[in-house]
Structure 1
Amino acid sequence: MKKWPMELHKHCVELFRTSPELETIMNLNDSSDFHEPQTTKDLYLHSSIRSLDPRIADEFFEKANIQDSFSTVVQTLEGFVSDDSKLWNIPNLFIPSSWVHARQLIRFTEKNANFMVGDYRDDVSQDLNAFLKHWLNSDNTNLETLIVRGSCSSMEELFDGIQTSRWNPEKRRATYVSNAPFQTIWEYRFGQGCRFLNLPSFWPNELDCSDAFDIVRESDGLIASVKVDISAFFMFVWHSRFS
Structure 2
Amino acid sequence: MATKLVIFDCDGVLVDTEPLTDVVLSKKLTEYGLPLAPSEIPGLFRGGTIQAVGEEAMRRGATLPDNWLDDLYAAVFDALRHDVPVIDGVFDLIDVLDGAGIGRAIASNGPVAKMKISLTPSGLWDRFAGRIYTGHHHGPKPKPDMLLRIMADAGVTPDETVMIDDMPAGFNAAKAAGIRCFGYVADGDPDRVNGTGAVPVTNFDQIALALDLR
TM (norm. structure 1) is: 0.26
- Which is strand-richer, 1 or 2? 1
Q: Highest CA radius of gyration, 1 or 2?
A: 1
- Which is helix-richer, 1 or 2? 2
